Amino acid sequence: MNPETNSYTTAGGIASRLLKSIPGVIDYELARSFTPARIAMFTLMVLIPTALMIAVANLTPQRVRNEQEASIAFCLLLFFLIPQILTTLGMLVLASPIVHAELEGQSWLYSLIRYQGRRALLLGKYIVAVLWTTCAGILSASIAIPFLPLQDPLKTWGTISLLCVLSSIAYGALFSLIGVIFQKRVMVIAFIYALVAEGLLAWIPAVINQFTISYRLRSILFRWLGLSVEKYFSSDGMVRNGMVASDPTGWAQIGWVLGISAGLLLLALILIERIQYSFQSEL
């Protein structure tokens, strides 16, 4: 038995032991992350959006490169390719199979029979997925931005980097929850959800889009880069009520994203303790 503590029942004791367990999972997951396959995936995650943006920048006629509209268009392209596509796909691949990978590798039972095994596994893997994806996003933005015709590259880099972090945190929590709920075809389910909710519903100018992560991230982008929603999206006035991006301050939006992420993670933590997974072929 653990010689360091015998505190099982108090909330403080449980939390303290969980906090001790999580770094163990992070260490372990990072140690086994540096495989050729994972490094190749990371490289592709970084290089594909970077190459696309640089290619588009090179194809942009010189006469429009210095105009403000070009700068804004590249800001939107950065946002679309990095905090939206790269981090979403990265978290889809890394966070959604949190439980499924353990079940398939027949290692789930070993976590199951540890005092804080399930919770530590979920949170540890989630943190590692956020670290990998955030690093890929920020690195991609860092490589691409010097080649793009931006009016304020430093501010754009800061905003995109922050959005990468927020996007990874939020999509990671969302896909972790999906991964906890579904045991089979979890990546397909997560992909369909991302496509329908975050890709489609988020752009529908109705109240429903305000419940999507994409909408909140977009609002932060517009607010922090001082973009006018009406100017770029309102051909028919539909954005007046904040249907493409909302009015509250960037900090309020950050609070919303972090709050919803915490809620999703909490739900995942509750469910992972309660769901009975089939972990042995003969069961």
Q: Which is nearer to another protein, 19 or 200 (CB)?
A: 19
Distance, CA of 262 to CA of 170 (rounded, Å): 8
Residue 96 sits at φ, ψ, to 5 deg, of: -65, -35
| Residue span 116-135 as binding mask against another protein, x where in contact by CB under 8 A, dash where not | xx--xx--------------
99 binds another protein (CB under 8 A): no
Among residues 113, 226, 235, 236, the one that binds another protein under rule CB under 8 A: 113
10 binds another protein (CB under 8 A): no
Q: Interface residues for another protein in 164-183 (CB under 8 A)?
A: none
**H or E segment at 94?**
helix 87-95
Minimum separation from the CB atom of position 183 to another protein (A): 14
Which two tokens mark 211? 């419940």
17 binds another protein (CB under 8 A): yes
Dihedral sign of CA atoms 83, 88, 93, 97 in order = positive
Q: Dihedral (C-alpha) 103, 106, 110, 113: value to the nearest 10 degrees?
A: 60
Minimum separation from the CB atom of position 2 to another protein (A): 5
- Which range in 70-78, 88-96, 110-118, 173-181 contacts another protein by CB under 8 A? 110-118
Minimum separation from the CB atom of position 75 to another protein (A): 39
25 binds another protein (CB under 8 A): yes
270 binds another protein (CB under 8 A): no
Which two tokens mark 137? 């996003």
Quick one: which of 185, 184, 208, 188 has its CA closest to 198? 208
Residue 265: CB atoms within 10 Å: 20
Count Cβ neighbours within 10 Å for each residue of 50-70 and write b for 16 or more, e otherwise: beebeeebeeeeeeeeeeeeb
- Which range in 30-38, 156-164, 172-180, 236-244 contacts another protein by CB under 8 A? 30-38
Which two tokens mark 141? 């933005």
Positions touching another protein (CB under 8 A) are 1-5, 8-9, 17, 20-21, 23-25, 27-28, 31-32, 35, 105-107, 109-117, 120-121, 276, 279-283
